[in-house]
Structures are given as C-alpha cells and as structure tokens.
Amino acid sequence: MTKKKSNLYLLAVFFTIIILVTVPNALAVGLAGAVLEKFFFTPGLEKTYNYVIISNTDRAMDHDVSTGGDLGQYFTPSITKVNIPLGGTAQFSAKLKLPQELAPGEHRAYICASESQPRGGGGVEGGASIGARAVVCGVIIVFSPYPGKALEFTNFDVKNVSRNENATFKIDVLGL
C-alpha cells in the first residue's frame, strides 16, 4: 500500500471514530405484552392485559399511558403516568370491557406508552428548536360479524379412523 493510500485510510478511520463518538445513540421506548391481538366480538367480554414499558433513555423520565381507537373508551389502564429510572422498566395492566352491542366490522383499541417530555428541545433564547418524543402502541382488533353474513360452527364430530381410511365429518352450521 502506498503512503498516500495509507494516509487516506487512517484519515477515514479517524473520521469514522469521531462520528461514532459524537453522534448519540438512538433512544426509545418499547412495549412488551399483547402488542397485537385479534379476536371476534363477544358481548360484555372482559379481558386483562399485562404490559411492560421498556425505556432506554439517557435519564429518569416520566412516561404517559393512554388509550385510543374506536374501542379506546372501553380500555382502562391501571396507571396513566409512571417515572422510569435510567435504563429501567415499569409494569402495568389494562382492562378491556366490551359493550353489549357493537356495530358490524373491524374495531380497534390502542394502548400506548409515550415519553412525557420531548428530547432535544431547548436551544438559544429567542431561537427555535425541534424536540422529539418516542411513542409505542399495542393494538387490539375486534371483529364484529355482519348479521346474515357469518357462520357459526358447532358440534364438530369425527369418528376415529385408521390410516388410509375415509373419515366422515359432522359439523352443525348456524347462519348468524
């Protein structure tokens, strides 16, 4: 390798190290638990979900817990705000209590965890700055069948059969 190429190589390595040292890590918030669940509507159904908020922020920070979506009003979290220490976690639960009736179609409920204060805000007095805050949501999807357009299967019956024998299935079907 020539001396000129060697110097260019060392210069590239030097600048790469400078960039890696001066650029901050990505800081975020995560949510563990039922982050996506789908099921069919059952009138008055009650379910409890357990979640863990995972934070890798650079300091202790408050986090908000909120609900949303067209079924958000039926979702009740056990907490609405929690302070999570540096690199820590927090646990909470959320109860979903569905109504007795629900319009046909797909409905969604969101349970979200977000940082309370933005990062990067501040700046020079009289100047402008941009701040960011991380938000993560779990999604519960409830499908309410259309009347007359769905089937309910009951009494599924199959006799024991041996290998290579024909099997007879009996299924009672009810149109909703």
Most confident segment among 1-10, 27-36, 136-145, 167-176: 136-145
Sign of the four-CA dihedral 6, 8, 11, 16: negative
- Cα separation, 14 vs 17, in Å, equals 5
Query: Which pLDDT score is estimated for 126?
Result: 55
Query: Which pLDDT score is estimated for 157?
Result: 83
SS3 174: strand
Query: Which pLDDT score is estimated for 124?
Result: 54
- Cα separation, 53 vs 77, in Å, equals 13
Q: Which DSSP state fits 130?
A: -
Mean pLDDT of 11-21: 71
Reported as a pLDDT band with limits 50, 70 and 90, residue 97 is: very high
Mean pLDDT of 140-159: 80
- Please give the structure tokens belonging to residue 174: 């009810």
Mean pLDDT of 115-125: 63
Phi-psi region of 120 (alpha: psi -120 to 50; beta: other; left: phi over 0): left
Query: Which pLDDT score is estimated for 77?
Result: 92
Mean pLDDT of 29-35: 79
- pLDDT at 155 exceeding the cut of 90: no
- Please give the structure tokens belonging to residue 176: 């909703």
